[in-house]
A and B are shown apart, each in its own frame.
Chain A
Amino acid sequence: MVLLLQYTLIFASVLLLVALGGCVSEHSGVINLGLEGIMVMGALGGALVMRFVPYSSATAGFGERILMFLLVFLASVALGMLFSMLLAVASVSFKADQTIVGTAMNLLGTALATVVVKSMNTAINPNDHSSEISYIEPKKAFLSNIGKFELNWFVVVAVVMLVICFIMLYKTRFGLRLRACGEHPQAADSVGINVYKMRYLGVLISGFLGGLGGITYITAGVSVWKFENGVAGFGFLALAVMIFGAWHPFKIAGAAVLFGMFRALGNVYNGIGFLKDLKIPSAVYLMLPYIVSLIVLAFTSKNSKAPKAEGIPYDKGQR
């Protein structure tokens, strides 16, 4: 049961971070379907730091652990934001179709990460054609054991981000302006708010959060990541979480915990007596989050609370 809680929390954190990213972007008026790709790039950033910064858990003091954590954090965020610029440039400045661009980013993220990791591995060892990075040791830097419970620091980050996002969206000048751009960009423009700038910022923040979600995902339970696999649709699950959470941070958090639990079942059902006795094939557990999200979407999409202007490129000339 402790294990179920632990996995639920970590997967919920992934979904929460990424869904918050989607939420901020959509509040600014841009639908971010490229979250999956952003996650992959964020994961790549963090994994590269863990691969190349020397670290040994046996000798590392608290300061070194913090340093490692910060470096991983920054690398993920940086790559996530950099990659999200692809969406911002295309959809805000060039008014490209956000669905096409988002889809392309997902494919590009996985392809790019695979090429980078493979050529890196091959360069180091000519016989190594894998797309894997292993980070067993450095990962320990940001894991703390509380009794049997293993706490990944990124869970704490997710909670902090939740609070920050809520305050940012609903209590600050920036949030008011951002939401105005997603609801009624012409109104925002008429009072002198730069809609393009706000949308760029919205997408960049989603890159920040998506990147964090990516690194959290690949450090959840495993210590080796094969980049060819991408992030298994988590970017889209996060969008389902966001829709279920009606674009509101706290409701998103609730939805993330629910979905996180279904995902966690796939990791731990073997350890839970009655589930093990049911003898359901493991593939069913793997499918569970996707099936649940389809059902949830079917019931929640009818009365959508989506920002009114999302997905519509803003054109100053057209009023």
Chain B
Amino acid sequence: MKQKTPLLRNSGLQTLISSLFCIILGLLIGYLALLVINAEGAWTAITNVIKNYMTYPTAPARMKYLGTTLAKTAPLLMCSLSVLFAYKAGLFNIGVAGQYTLGAAASLFCALNLGLPWYVCLLAAIVIGAISAAICGALRAFCNVNVVISGIMLNWISLYSTNVLLQTVKESTGKDTIRLVKQHADSILPTLGMDKWFSNNQYVTIGIPIAILVAVLVWVILEKTKLGYELKATGNNLNAAKYCGMKENSNIILTMIISGALAGLGAALYYLSDIEPWNVNSSSVPGMGFNGIAAAFLGGLSPIGSIFSSYFIQHITLGGGYVDLSHYCAQISDLISAMIIYLCGFVLFFKTFINGRLDKHEEKRAHKAQALEAAQNTEGGKK
């Protein structure tokens, strides 16, 4: 007997509902924080966060800043893919921020110091990200080191190394690296004319389509291939993976290599669009990696979901810049993102809760149906 399963049983829909729930609650808490700081302008501030580029009055300006948001979404999407790919294999790659940092170092160094074309710079960033993550993976596989702790340690090591390395390509005055457009424009990612669509926003490069393509690729790897089958099995049950002869240690390292490569690529997509230089006095790793964690979980750990969640996180992060700075600060967006990650921790509970309610509901219905059947049977017997 096949029963129609209720729509709410669909795990994709449950994920969507819980993500929306996280977003609404996160924004609400952000709003409350704004209210506490200054009640008068709080509503305008939160709507500005949500509006982001829509706060501009003219359409061309809006398009231009939509372009900027998209350009900054591409690296975030890569970071979130990096996080979710590792997470599917049971590894929490918090080191994504450090791998991203090293990616920035490699791409900018290759571009500014060695004067290499963009695709070589891109490759360099991918390789260095992969190597750094492989260290994490190897420590986990052979020495049983917790990836979260080793990831954080590598984040700091990466940050200081990057600062040292990029000292060599710094502007003579100030703390920033030289802009690519001044030094070596060949290293900038091609725009393929897409900049025209966004009011000549030169930061709209092939980075955006590349990121989306990679997201689809990651989905295919995870869902359709033997590799994905093995990695997910390793993530779900390491012992079972070992038992059936998967090479669990090389799988862990391979996962981290791919994850790190994605993070490195993300950094290249950002810094090779010349949208921002690197500050060689940075005292913390860029927030992109940590926002990647938020986007990965908010996207329900699905590569396709990540495309949307990355956009959303980037959207409100930039939206934070539009609050009235005489009362508030842009970090209100960080607060909202952090809150969203926190709430994502409850998603499992939320799903269990929905399923529990559905179970109870179904049981009640089954009872009723049974009782009805019994009643009909006795009646039938009388006749």
- Give chain A's interface residues, CB within 8 Å of chain B: 33, 86, 90-91, 94-97, 99-101, 103-105, 107-108, 110-112, 114-115, 118-119, 122-123, 126, 129, 131, 228-230, 232-233, 236-237, 239-240, 243, 281, 283-284, 286-287, 290-291, 293-294, 297-299, 301-302, 304
Give every chain B residue within 8 A of A239 (Cβ-Cβ): 146, 149
Given contacts A115-B33, A115-B329, A122-B327, contact A95 B349 (CB under 8 A): yes
Give every chain A residue within 8 A of B328 (Cβ-Cβ): 119, 122
Instruction: Classify chain B: how many residues form its interface, as a range.
Output: 35 or more
User: A215 vs B152: C-alpha distance in the bound complex, in angstroms?
Assistant: 22
Interface assignment of B128: CB less than 8 Å from any CB of chain A: no
Interface assignment of B262: CB less than 8 Å from any CB of chain A: no
Interface assignment of B153: CB less than 8 Å from any CB of chain A: yes
Give every chain B residue within 8 A of A301 (Cβ-Cβ): 143-146
User: A104 vs B325: C-alpha distance in the bound complex, in angstroms?
Assistant: 25
Interface assignment of B148: CB less than 8 Å from any CB of chain A: yes
* Known contacts A103-B341, A131-B329, then 13 further A-B pairs from the complex at CB < 8 Å, ordered by chain A residue: A95-B349, A101-B345, A103-B94, A104-B338, A104-B344, A107-B341, A111-B337, A111-B338, A122-B328, A281-B164, A287-B156, A291-B153, A294-B150
Q: Could you pull out 20 A-B pairs where Cβ atoms are within 8 angstroms?
A: A90-B342, A90-B345, A96-B348, A97-B348, A100-B293, A100-B341, A103-B92, A103-B94, A103-B290, A107-B290, A111-B331, A111-B334, A228-B331, A230-B284, A233-B155, A236-B149, A243-B146, A290-B157, A294-B157, A297-B153
Point out which of B149, B154, B335 has the most chain A C-beta atoms below 10 A from its C-beta: B149
CB distance from A277 to the nearest CB of B (A): 20
Give every chain B residue within 8 A of A107 (Cβ-Cβ): 290, 334, 337-338, 341
User: A297 vs B334: C-alpha distance in the bound complex, in angstroms?
Assistant: 31
Interface assignment of B161: CB less than 8 Å from any CB of chain A: yes
Q: Which listed residue (B149, B155, B163) contacts A297, Cβ 8 A?
A: B149
Give every chain B residue within 8 A of A284 (Cβ-Cβ): 160
B342 touches A104 (CB 8 A): yes
User: A302 vs B338: C-alpha distance in the bound complex, in angstroms?
Assistant: 33
Nearest first, the 8 closest Cβ-Cβ pairs linking A and B are A96-B345, A104-B342, A107-B338, A104-B341, A108-B338, A111-B334, A118-B329, A236-B152
Give every chain A residue within 8 A of B143 (Cβ-Cβ): 297-299, 301-302
Give every chain B residue within 8 A of A232 (Cβ-Cβ): 156, 283-284
Give every chain B residue within 8 A of A233 (Cβ-Cβ): 152-153, 155-156
User: A128 vs B302: C-alpha distance in the bound complex, in angstroms?
Assistant: 42
Interface assignment of B85: CB less than 8 Å from any CB of chain A: no
Contact with A along B322-336 (1 / 0, CB 8 A): 000111110110110
Interface assignment of B217: CB less than 8 Å from any CB of chain A: no
A115 touches B335 (CB 8 A): yes
User: A297 vs B145: C-alpha distance in the bound complex, in angstroms?
Assistant: 6
Give every chain A residue within 8 A of B338 (Cβ-Cβ): 104, 107-108, 111-112
B157 touches A291 (CB 8 A): yes
Instruction: Tell me the residues in window 107-164 of chain B with beta carbons closer than 8 Å to chain A beta carbons.
Output: 139, 143-146, 148-150, 152-157, 160-161, 163-164
> Which single residue of chain A is at the shortest CB-CB distance from B337?
A107
Q: Which listed residue (B139, B290, B297) contacts A298, Cβ 8 A?
A: B139
CB distance from A57 to the nearest CB of B (A): 29
Interface assignment of B37: CB less than 8 Å from any CB of chain A: yes
> Which single residue of chain A is at the shortest CB-CB distance from B340?
A104
B334 touches A99 (CB 8 A): no
Give every chain A residue within 8 A of B326 (Cβ-Cβ): 122, 126
Given contacts A119-B328, A126-B326, A302-B143, contact A297 B150 (CB under 8 A): yes
Interface assignment of B197: CB less than 8 Å from any CB of chain A: no
Give every chain A residue within 8 A of B221 (Cβ-Cβ): none
CB distance from A303 to the nearest CB of B (A): 9
User: A233 vs B221: C-alpha distance in the bound complex, in angstroms?
Assistant: 34
A112 touches B157 (CB 8 A): no
Given contacts A104-B342, A240-B153, contact A229 B283 (CB under 8 A): yes
User: A286 vs B341: C-alpha distance in the bound complex, in angstroms?
Assistant: 30
> Which single residue of chain B is at the shortest CB-CB distance from A93?
B349
Give every chain A residue within 8 A of B33 (Cβ-Cβ): 115
User: A99 vs B93: C-alpha distance in the bound complex, in angstroms?
Assistant: 11
> Which single residue of chain A is at the shortest CB-CB distance from B163?
A283
A90 touches B293 (CB 8 A): no
User: A287 vs B158: C-alpha distance in the bound complex, in angstroms?
Assistant: 9
Give every chain B residue within 8 A of A237 (Cβ-Cβ): 153
Contact with A along B350-378 (1 / 0, CB 8 A): 00000000000000000000000000000
Interface assignment of B339: CB less than 8 Å from any CB of chain A: yes
A229 touches B284 (CB 8 A): yes
